[in-house]
Structure formats: structure tokens, C-alpha cells
Structure 1
Amino acid sequence: MSTTTSSSPVHAQPVARPGRPVLDPATGAVVRTVPDSSLAEVDAAVARAGAAFLDGPWPSLTRTARGRLLLRAADTIEAAAEDLYRLETRNNGRPVTETRAQLSRVPEWFRYNAGLLAAQRDAVLPSDGPYLTYQRRAPLGVCGIITPFNHPLLILARSLSAALATGNTVVVKPSETTPLSTLAMAELLADAGIPDGVVNVVTGGREVGERLTGHPDIAKITLTGGTEAGRAAAVATAHRFARVTAELGGKTPIVVFDDIDPVAAAEGAAFAAFVAAGQSCVAGSRFLVQRASYDRFVTALAKRADAIRIGDPSDPATQLGPMVSAAQRDKVLALIEAGRAEGARVAAGGGVPELPAPFDGGFFVRPTVLADATMAMRVAREEIFGPVAVVVPFDDEADAIAKANDNRFGLGAGVWTRDLARGHRVADRIRAGMVWVNDHHRLEPSLPWGGIKESGTGRDAGTESFDDFTWLKTVVVRTAADDVDWYGSAAPGRLN
């Protein structure tokens, strides 16, 4: 397994070249430097993965043996959990309480896909006549996994565990801003016994991702990122008919009906807007609130936002960390100002917090509530990817559904109501890949994850992801004792 950013094996000396600084977004300080992989090194990583697939033991291992290694990987990751929590917190700025809650679940994905592997059955299909027809699933080959900065390890585990369980080899490209925990996990997988060449990591920016996506020997790309990156990946893979699973942007509507206590709904749904500092594709950035509850909801949400504790992500008392970069912070602040200019009212936040050194050098944005917004405003239509909740009133159920669907994205949605019939009814009519009722952002390894419209294509997690890392072969076996002679006197009477 190669876990370096050079084309050398893991124990070889890395090639000396300038590195890309990896920052602590809470302080702006450099944590370490990581070299950008050259395009030749990307090609070498794909070649290593290809050799491991064609000549290595991984695809030909028995299901039991491969599953046992996946379970050992889960145990190894779990044993290193505390170090992973703190490394990821320092690299992407999520509060350690959030990171611990999220990463403690990473081993579940490996165990789940090991379980699917053990339970996998080959289908026997009905056939007329003396035939036994069955299907087999085979691994695709070398798969590329491109992960984002916001949830590096969880999103990696979601795809990697399924790819490995089904016998593929992989090349992983983490975000150039948050590569550290991915490099650490690759080393843990090597420690668990995953063979050399099965998992390879390349680091760098856009050029590295484009090389991987367009590589002729990559059979499938799984990408989590922006819509334009997903569009480019779809075009690149289409040229060679490779598969692509893309989880892209979102503008998640949170629909709050007036049959629920608006204060309770605001306190519960605040998690949707502000978890991960809003840097999530399913962040609840569009709150659609029924008019009878609107004012009380805005007041309660603003109060909750103002009370969120901002600061050192490594402190368990901290509830909200920084943006991942200065560029991301500046983008969020610019969109807040655009909302203000269009007439939205800043009910909470709206700027940067005052923090002591060294956190005064971090990329923080205060939790912000933009009230009295309309669906025509940029802040109600564009993905902000920051701790900003835009609140828009609606009149009735039909109006709520129309406003919820009035967007180019379709990844997630939330519905808050005490009328469970209404909850089911509205969830059924919202055009999104994931809908939560009276909660948000809950996920399990068994739940397919993905969107529609410009939120992407395909699904991660669940049996859907497991199966999509394989191709299906149908085998037809003639079981009759007599010979086949189509052109003889006893020619068959049927041809399909």
C-alpha cells in the first residue's frame, strides 16, 4: 500500500520538492507541508493500483479472508480514534466534540460492508428449457476516490469500505486543504494488513484531481465536491464510459409548520444550520417557516445562534469552529453582505467574532441568521457553505412544497411538524435524495446517500454503493444431455 505522495513505495525516501502548506484554520498557522503529487506520480499510483488488481492477492481473496481484513481495519482505526479526532480537528477546524461524534462511526462503514460481503448471494434466474442461469458480481478494477475538506475521513470511509469489500483497488485524492487524516488512515490500513498497492494516496489540487478523473485506467470515480467539479468529472468519465458517483452542492430547505412549537423547532433545527460551521452539503441554509410562527421562530433561532460558543476547536466546550480557509470565510462574509444589500435583516451574527490570540488569526464567522428573506435573493438560492441560516416565510403546505423545490439542488431537506401524516406527505413531495422529519443529518451505513438535479448522481452507502463498485455477469449453462446442432435436422425452434 502506498501512503506517500511520491511514486515510491511507502518505505522509500520521498522525492524532495516544495510542499504545500497545510494550515490550522483556527489560527492560520502552518501545521506541516505536504508535497503536491506530480502528474507522473498520479499515473504511477494508478499503475500500482492496477498491478495490485491484476497480479496482487486482493481481488482473488476469499470473501471470508477479505472480510476479516476489513474487520481488522475497523478495529485498527477504532484503536487510533483519539489521535484521528485531534488530527482532523486541527486540520479542518471542526470542534473536537463534533469530530469525535462523527469519526467514532467510521469503523461502522468497514464492518457494514464486510457484513454485506459475507451475506452476498449470487442470483439464480428463471430460464425456459434445460438451462441454469445465474449471475456473478465482479470488481470494477481501479477506482478513484476524491474527498472534500469538510468531512475527510467519514466521506472517505463511506466509499473506500465498499470499494475494498468488493475487491477493487483504489487511488484516493483528499482535498489539498485537509489531507492529514487521510494520510494517517492509509497508514492504519497498512498496519491492519491491507496489501501493498491496494490503497494509494495522491495529494494536491485541481490538476491532480483532473488527472485522476480523466485517467483511462480508472474504472469508477467517486467524488464529493462542488457542482462544477462534478460536472467536469461526469464529462471526463463519459468519454471512456467509466462510472461516476458524485455528491455535489446543496441548498437544503428546512420546512417548519405552525403546528409545532417554534421555539422547540428553532432549538432543534439550529443543528442543521450550524453543525460543521455550516460547511456541509446538507446544511440547513434555507428555513421556510409558516407565517403564524415566523416571528417567534426567528427570535428563538437568533437567540440560539448568539449563544453558540465559538473558539478553540480542541476545547470540548467549543460549539463552533472556523471556516476551512480565509477564502471560504471571505466568500461567506460577502454573501452575508449581499443578503443585507438585497433587504434581508441580520437577526444574529453577520460578521467575525472577537477572539484572543492565537485564534484572532483564524477564519471564523459568527453564526448568522438572515430574516425577512425572499426566494429571489441570492442568499436563498446559492449555496453559502457557512454558518448562515436564511429564513423565508410561507403561507400553507402547497406554498411550502413549492418553495422547497424551487432550487437547482436536491440533496437534503428537513420537515418539522407534529402532524406525522403531514410529515410523510410533505417528505414524499419534496424533491431531494434525503429527507428528515423532526431531525437532521442522521445517517447510517445502510442508508443510501446522494441527491438529484445539480446535487449529483448515484448513491454512497447502502447496498446501492456496494453493488455499484461491481459489474454484473450473467452465465447461462445448458444442462441437457444432447448436443446442440442448430443447422442439423433437429434444429432448435427458438432463437432470442
Structure 2
Amino acid sequence: MSSVLNTSNGVPVHGLFIDGHAVAATRADLLDVINPATGVLLAQISHASDADVDRAVQSAATAFESAEWSTMSNRTRAKLVNKLADVFEANLEEIYHLETLNNGRSLNETRAQVSRLPDFLRYNAGLAIARRDSVIPVDGNYLNYTLRTPIGVVGNSTPFNHPLMIMMKSLAPTLASGCTTVVKPSEYTPLTTLRLAALFVEAGLPPGVFNVITGLGPTSGKALSEHRGLAKWVLTGGTEAGRITGALAGANFAHQTLELGGKTPVLVFDDFDVDQAVNYAAFGAFIGAGQTCICGSRQIVQEKVYDEFVEKLAAKAKSIRIGNPIDPMIQLGPVVSARQQQRVLNYIRIGLEEDGARLVAGGRIPADPALANGFFVEPTVFADVTADMRIFQEEVFGPFVSVTKFGTEAEGIALANNSPFGLAGAIRTNDITRAHRVAARLKCGIVWINDHHRLDPASPWGGVKDSGIGRECGTESFDQHFETKSVMVRLDDAPFDWYKDTAAQPRLN
């Protein structure tokens, strides 16, 4: 099974994936999918119209109500979700290469990340079996218990930076809870999402449970977010996109999980090994070409080790091997598009011309002519950055990191919290009491102590402030896919007549 409708000059043309098979969109225009490392056309995708989006949501709604899906027992559903994990694992080699070609992340990074994704399915399958409804002690001779029922159709808009990983954070609890979904991947990176949907239907997932529509955010994405058939809206993307689509979904009182922008502060204290701090900084800032919401883009370093840290981070950045990510020796691939490349280059200009920060590494397009057709930017490090600078406050979303000096612990915490974002933060220290003390004071949803970018299917993931609402992963995410119904049973056979003896019947009514 495939999402490919036909080929044009040897290039596959993908349809929408609705009700278990590829379908043509009602719009005639196609969108190009480009290999960001070479600029070569990889595929073309359909551009879903409002009518196409409605068709996909109706398919998901029909599947949600179908006897095959709605009456499936928790254990049978868990067994199916575990089977999907096995199918995913059996096709990893194909998916590694397709994901790398499509989003430009190095093959080694893709292997490390995507190989973990079947765990999301298995973890949520376990929750489906382990879940229990509550019996609640209440006043009087009553039995009060709860029933949880799946909420319905989940709309999910995923970004270009981690196409499968971010989708899987929502897809796994959606399927394990008994909901259905319509996913709109980024127009830049739709190929692995379309492939996985086809693989899952081949493996026995009922048609309509997992639908994929492709298109642009302002058209197809907007139509999905505002569709009245959605019970839940999930978006990972920029803060402005979250505001727009969140308002649209909110008009229909849809549940929401929004994982938005970030500007992660990393507090490096002078009791921590500088070489290790630099290694973590390079990993945190340049993994995925810096295109992560949790990019360690603000290194806030205590003054005693500041100069040494800057010198060593600059040298580390210059040593990173840049090139075509399909080569396993390459450590840094391109950003996803020419537009994203220009965004990063513009922030380099801002850092130099407007902010007056000190560029100590990178700041250019690589000189290698073999990379000229791709969307590459050198790993870039700015030093002597202050809190009033734009490159300290604004999300760049590229291989770009700033370094800021601090003195006391209180000053470091104030700098870390001086941001409209609050997704993640990190601490580098060997002082265990300081580590926990500072972690409690950082205004964010995720904190790493002496680590970075660590995620697990069981660990809640999400932010505060302009970084969004709700949580992915863990029981928190799984539980958000249910409505809770309270059932109150009177166990007393005594006659009831409110209007005959009101005073003797105290109650909260």
C-alpha cells in the first residue's frame, strides 16, 4: 500500500491518505518537496482544500463510531498498537533514509531518534491495559464511580524538525485510547508520515482511524484546526501559529495541546567541568541543525569560567563536519529550506549589526561548492550577549547559540527566566543542592540537570508562558484523550419526596 497516486517526470506524486488509501485532492495544485541537502525535487504532494479536510475528518469520525473500533476491548486495542510498534520497527531502515532525505537531519541523528519511536506505542499500549476508573467515597449511602470515554477525533499539525517523533507523541496515545486522528504534517516533510500511515493500515489498523492530509498551514492547516468535528487540537509549531489555530479550535471548545516556541537557557556554573559543559552546549545547540524547540540556544555561563568556555565552544563549533546528511560521517546537515536558511542568516546580521555581539564561530554559508545547492549554515556562536539583545530574546531555529556571562546564582536565574518562553531549561553543576534549588526556580516545563534533549515516553513534555499549554507523553497525555463521566448510584430504598420534607434532606443540589 502506498500514498503515491502517480509519477511526473519520474517524481512521485502523493495523494492525501483518507479512509485507508490514497485519494486525489480536489485542488489541482501540487506542492514540491525538496531535499534540503541538494535542492533536488524529491516528490510532489497534494494541497488539501476545505472539502478535502472535511472528508478526512468525516472519515475519522465514522471510524471512531464504528463497531470495529469503538467496541474493541482495551486488551485487543493494546495488542494492535503493539503490533504497529513491531511493524514500525521492521521498517526502520527504510524510514531512517526517507526521514534523512526529507528533513536533512544527519543519518546518525535520525537513527538515534527514530529507533526509539516504537516505544511510544508500546508505552501507551501498556497504559490502555493498566488504566482504571475510580470509585469515589462520597457522603451518604451512595456509590460514585467514574467512566472514561475516548474524546473523539484528534487533529494534529506537526512541524518539519522532527516529523515522526513529534507526530508519535500524539499518535500513540490517540490510538491507544480509542480516538481517531487526522494529521497534517509540515509541507516540507510529509513523506515519512504518509509512509507510516500506509504501513499501519497494511498491519491491520482500521481504515479512517489514521488519516493524513497535506498542504499549507494557512489553508489546509487552518481548515483542520477550525473544523467543528475535532474533539482535540494538537499543534507543535511557532507561538504565533499556536495563537491563531488555538483561537480557531477554541471557538469549538476543542481540547488543546500546544507545544510552541522556546529559547532554552543553559546555566553553566563554575564548579562543572568546562569541557563537558562545552560538549553539552554543542549537542544542545547544533543537534538537528539547531531546529528544535528545546535548542540550548542561550548558554549562560558563570564569570570564572566564561572566557575558557567561549574559546572552547568556538573551537568545537568549527570542528563539526558539515555536509550531505546521508553520509554517516557527517555531523551537521542543512536547515530544512531556503526560507529557514535566510532566517538564520538574518539573525546573524542582527547579532552583528543591531546587537553588537561578538561573533566567535561560524556566521556564514559553507564555502564548499559541493554544498552550494543545499540550505547549509555554519554552526554559529556569539559571545558577550546581553539580555536586551534580540539574539538573546528571539527564537532563531538554526545552528545558532549565544553566550552570556553571569556572576551570582540569583543573577543567573534572573537571566534564565528573562524570556517570553518557558519550554525547557538546563543546569550544569556538581552541587546537588544547587541543582535542585535552581531547577525549582526556573520558569519552564522541562529541566535537565547535567544533560540535554533527554525525552522518554513516560515523562511529561510541555511548556509555560509563550511555549504553550498541555503536556505530551506520560500518563498526562494519555489521560487528556478521555472525557470523564461521573456516575452516582443511590443505594437507599427509603422513599424520596423533596417537597414533603425539605428540611431533613441536606444536599448539594
Q: Which residue of 1 aligns with 2:231?
A: 219
Structure 1 position 486, deviation (Å): 2.9
* Whole-Å separation in 1 of the counterparts to 2:18 and 2:273: 60
Q: Which residue of 2 aligns with 1:209?
A: 221
User: 2:109 is matched with which residue: 98, 113, 127?
Assistant: 98
Structure 1 position 487, deviation (Å): 3.6
Q: Which residue of 2 aligns with 1:354?
A: 367
Code of the residue aligned with 2:361 in structure 1: it is A
Q: Which runs of structure 2 are paired with 1:24-173 in the superposition (5 Å)? A: 24-173=35-184
Q: Which residue of 2 aligns with 1:296?
A: 308
Structure 1 position 488, deviation (Å): 4.7
* Whole-Å separation in 2 of the counterparts to 1:7 and 1:194: 13
1:2–1:200 Cα contact (<8 Å) kept: no
User: 1:228 is matched with which residue: 236, 240, 243?
Assistant: 240
* Whole-Å separation in 2 of the counterparts to 1:490 and 1:24: 75
* Whole-Å separation in 1 of the counterparts to 2:250 and 2:118: 33
1:288–1:392 Cα contact (<8 Å) kept: yes
- Residues 1-58 of structure 1 deviation map (CA, whole Å, 9 limit, x = unaligned): 9967448654466358332110000011100111111111001001111111123421
Q: Which residue of 2 aligns with 1:238?
A: 250
Structure 1 position 237, deviation (Å): 1.9
Matched, 1:14 2:28: no
Matched, 1:336 2:321: no
Mean alpha-carbon deviation: is it higher for 258-267 or for 114-123? 258-267
- Residues 229-283 of structure 1 deviation map (CA, whole Å, 9 limit, x = unaligned): 1001221122121111100000000110111122221122210001000000000
* Whole-Å separation in 1 of the counterparts to 2:110 and 2:505: 66
* Whole-Å separation in 2 of the counterparts to 1:260 and 1:174: 40
Matched, 1:310 2:325: no
* Whole-Å separation in 2 of the counterparts to 1:84 and 1:78: 9
* Whole-Å separation in 1 of the counterparts to 2:98 and 2:305: 42
Q: Which residue of 2 aligns with 1:434?
A: 446
Code of the residue aligned with 2:363 in structure 1: it is G
| SS, match of residue 414 in structure 1 | strand
1:434–1:449 Cα contact (<8 Å) kept: yes
* Whole-Å separation in 1 of the counterparts to 2:82 and 2:341: 39
Q: Which residue of 2 aligns with 1:323?
A: 335
| SS, match of residue 233 in structure 1 | helix
| SS, match of residue 246 in structure 1 | strand
2:20–2:198 Cα contact (<8 Å) kept: no
| SS, match of residue 69 in structure 2 | coil
Code of the residue aligned with 2:422 in structure 1: it is G
1:348–1:367 Cα contact (<8 Å) kept: yes
Structure 2 portions without partners, runs of 5+: 4-13
1:410–1:451 Cα contact (<8 Å) kept: yes
Q: Which residue of 1 aligns with 2:419?
A: 407
Code of the residue aligned with 2:40 in structure 1: it is A
| SS, match of residue 172 in structure 1 | strand
Structure 1 position 484, deviation (Å): 3.2
2:17–2:212 Cα contact (<8 Å) kept: no
1:269–1:439 Cα contact (<8 Å) kept: no
Q: Which residue of 1 aligns with 2:289?
A: 277
Q: Which residue of 2 aligns with 1:396?
A: 408
C-alpha spacing 1:13/1:285, structure 2 compared with 1 (3 Å): closer
C-alpha spacing 1:296/1:60, structure 2 compared with 1 (3 Å): same
TM-score w.r.t. structure 1 length?
A: 0.97
TM-score w.r.t. structure 2 length?
A: 0.94
- Residues 422-464 of structure 1 deviation map (CA, whole Å, 9 limit, x = unaligned): 1111111010100101110101001110000000000001111
Structure 1 position 312, deviation (Å): 1.3
Q: Which runs of structure 2 are paired with 1:359-398 in the superposition (5 Å)? A: 359-398=371-410
| SS, match of residue 476 in structure 1 | strand
Q: Which residue of 1 aligns with 2:7?
A: none
State the aligned residue count: 495
Mean alpha-carbon deviation: is it higher for 276-285 or for 372-381? 372-381
* Whole-Å separation in 1 of the counterparts to 2:31 and 2:332: 27
Structure 1 position 490, deviation (Å): 9.5
Mean alpha-carbon deviation: is it higher for 255-264 or for 485-494? 485-494
C-alpha spacing 1:390/1:54, structure 2 compared with 1 (3 Å): same
C-alpha spacing 1:2/1:173, structure 2 compared with 1 (3 Å): farther
| SS, match of residue 72 in structure 1 | helix
Structure 1 position 343, deviation (Å): 1.5
Structure 1 position 225, deviation (Å): 0.1
CA RMSD of superposed structures (Å): 1.7
Q: Which residue of 2 aligns with 1:263?
A: 275
Structure 1 position 308, deviation (Å): 0.6
C-alpha spacing 1:225/1:406, structure 2 compared with 1 (3 Å): same
Structure 1 position 360, deviation (Å): 2.0
Q: State, as a whole percentage, how many aligned pairs show the same letter.
A: 50
Q: Which residue of 1 aligns with 2:8?
A: none
* Whole-Å separation in 1 of the counterparts to 2:38 and 2:164: 22
C-alpha spacing 1:374/1:150, structure 2 compared with 1 (3 Å): same
Structure 1 position 372, deviation (Å): 1.1
